[in-house]
Structure 1
């Protein structure tokens, strides 16, 4: 990839940074006058007591609506509501191509069928380990451990370099759902060099280790086992 004159890579989070939920991230590449954009995740968040009567909060998409001519696609990392829950509501305004894993696409279709008037969204399927191109970006899907099937981290490469967008993930040696995080791919990108790690992992800034999810399940099962007489 050759870097164009005056081109730069920018990251614009419209939700999900410094807060829980409503993940909506923009990556743009190119000169300011002709920058091409992709969206990573389109999530909702749940209101607190300051918003009585409100069921869901959607991301403010006005910035990218003003740049629709240069929006190349939407990529969903996984099918938790805070990462894909606003897609049916926002897609009619954006109408960009959408990439999802098979499981996420299946949940989206089930959700659409349960919401009267929800749009039918054309989806391109991607799978773990695959590479695909969206606008000026080459994307590699890296499987990670999380509490839902088919969560993905994304290696996003442009002529400016590579950014790793983790989505929700955990280094869990014994996940209860799906494979372990593909640490080898993270190391490979680390060896080549990355510009930034855009990371989303609960308690990641706390020292120490989090227990494996399988250990938590076993402890809960044990807590519910009746005592022998």
Structure 2
């Protein structure tokens, strides 16, 4: 009964959605993890590529798109459920040529850093997991993966997230110190003093897990590295 209601709701959404010839739309692609779970590669939430122009309409639910030559291996006619109205901006849209798409519009997503680590104690063993941030996703969409699998598939990640790092990954000074690189601002707060307010940001550094993030004065971080502040301020 519940499945029937869900199908009816999905069918209504499809009927309510339509595109005009010449309209630009986004095409859904399916990111996959490079590591296996239960014998299969894990899926990540969909992303979209485009925009592409609608060439014509076939029946009620099929649309051929004008795809670039680089996607010539992909059949150009798509069910309406694969399409989305185009609006500029949005983290869910990626460049189609930034990933290696197969004929089924799937691609293997790349991990970019290890954010955290935890160990679960079972009856007879311990299982170590790491929190992974993927290339086209914010920190909020990081996933927990088995550490042993990640070390086999992506050993380079553990040089940067552990206490031991390759010499060439940092610019070491004569005093054996180096300047760490800011990856992302995780949080923002404002402290009210007697006669002023002081804004701080929680900073994730390249060589640290999330647990090693530090609170820094927002003004100092902005002056040294303005790129994490795309809109002049961080929402509280």
TM-score range, shorter chain: under 0.3
Larger Rg: 2
Higher strand share: 2
**TM-score, normalising length: structure 1:** 0.28
**TM-score, normalising length: structure 2:** 0.27
